[in-house]
Structure 1
Amino acid sequence: MTMVTSPIRSLLAANTRRTSAAEWLRRPRPPLAPPRWLAIVLGGALAAGLVVLPLVNPSYINLAVTLVCIWTIVGLGLNLLVGYGGQVSLGHSAFFAIGAYAVAVAGEAGIAHPLTLVIAGILPFAVGYLIGLPALRLRGLQLGLVTIAMAMATPAVIRALEPVTHGSRGISIDASPPAGIPLAHDQWVYYLALATAALAYVVTRRLARGRLGRSFVAVRDAELVAETLGVDVWQTKTRLFASSAAYAGVAGGLYALLLEFVGPENFGLMLSISFVTLIVVGGLATVAGAVLGALFIQYVPAFTSSISPAATGATYGIVLILFAFFVPFGLVGLLRGALAPLVDRLPGRRAG
């Protein structure tokens, strides 16, 4: 009897362990609550490291970290729209392209590049608002098809607007730092991207925790209830869509300054897919998830493409499936689950 039941018990125990592991991965977790002294020490060390980093590293490392800042800005805006607002967008590469070309064309007109970034935010906001007015009355798959059509059409539209965009030839950009600033090009754009990403992070965090963030979540979870409570559902959706487009536009402008060139081949459908991967892998409806997702799409595809040029697309597909089924709360959820037992034991006063 013992010989018969022992394998069965082992099988049941193994199945229980697998079930427990799956439940642990799928479990929602509250944000970490570190002591204030730890938050200050880690925040100060991170800020100091990011400020010094471009001064002590070669340009290719500055390039990679600048791209992380740019992807973070896109992720913050897209997470506001998808994670907090519950809207589907597979076409943010279109707004990214609008911002990039706004910087390129305005730079050709002689406008200083820090000011062109303002244009790179305003123009996509206006376009996003106009598109959002009719598009956001659609739901689910229909809205997803409209936004993915935008992404697919973007390279063709750029080529069709040749008098402005120079078509397939693209536009070269002089993104040298202003006179009197003793920085190389990669250092100058790095600091622009870092400052913009930090500002976007703070603004997004305050939006998500404030009254506007609560109205976004209310519209996402129950439109009818939100409307009875006085929330203008359609205006909230449209403004959120336009604001998310502005984030993508500013990021696109920084991308153009970094590469010093823009062309239609830079803004294909794969770029939009990478943006969706960013927020899913990082963690939907989390601000920190944009940073983790940005690190993922910058470094993991680069590693897989070094193994095989065709591996990048496969990586995005496999990762999206795995995270959708097994890690719905993204890397943020994993970190919270792994670090919470340690952080909760640390002494000190917690933030409110």
Structure 2
Amino acid sequence: MTETLLDASNLAIEIDGRELVSDVDLKIGRGDSVGIVGESGSGKSLTCRAFAGSLGVLGGRISRGTMSLAGRNVTSPGAHAGLYGRVVTLMPQNSLSALNPLMRIGTHLTETIKALDTDGAITPKVRATQLLDRVGLHHPERVLRQYPHQLSGGMRQRVMIALAIAGRPQLLIADEPTTALDVSVQKEILELLRRLNQEEDMGLILVSHDLGVVKAATQSVAVMYGGMVVEHGTTDTVLRHPRHPYTQALLRARPVIGRTERLIGIPGIPASPDAWPSGCRFARRCPHVRSQCDASVPTMETIDAHHVVACSRVHELTTGDLVGA
């Protein structure tokens, strides 16, 4: 049986008294890879900050539910102490802003290695060189002497991955790791993350707004909208047989090579947390909305053992395979 690394149940997150994420259930084991997708503002990054224990810097807190990491309850503030970098680590979105422009890459890595006290048998510089080589950077000794602005976007992202795995974490959270990278570099970064996930038997959470990215690198996917998970299942099932109207809308709006039909945008804009409806949060943009959708927030309905959907009409609505999904 796979060891459970992360177990979040009915997790809710609030900032300044406003609940921005509601009732998230997610379980991840060793070697698992999970994608979290949704539009900007859907709660993806905030949820991952809760997983990593960094809500405090935003003034946020877990207001309901429970969460454990590697069997340790980390629901309360400060409970992640001693776990970050070793059990769980978060790779932020923008590598250029995440790296100190006044520090050489070698300094970034050696200070991280010293802080995590890893591999005492070898020097931090040797370990840093090994890490850069592990993430596929050529001439690592030269890279150690360079500053962030002297590297390309893809090279900086590999440095971010090296920093993230310096403490050999059991769970890596990659928040939009391919943003602003060209397609060929995106592919290389995703292949690197997938290889680390498999070879290190490490849990991987990949956050993206791009369904193509999660398709390339994850086994399962959770679709978020309005601070809630609205569909969760194996990646292949969710992308080929989407059952929530929001997931279907995301796929219809996704450009795919070889698809001839016109792309269809999602009408309207996501409601802010202050204006969330009392029922389904996607109701105002949904083509299948009925009066029952406004009655209450839908609970997860089971489609099969590995596929759940939060839609009160899911058993009325059907969908065939989507071309190019």
Place the TM-score, normalised by the shorter chain, in its bin: under 0.3
The structure with more helix, counted as a fraction of residues: 1
TM-score by length of 1: 0.23
The structure with more strand, counted as a fraction of residues: 2
Task: Select the structure with the greater relative contact order (CA < 8 A; seq sep ≥ 6).
Answer: 1
TM-score by length of 2: 0.24
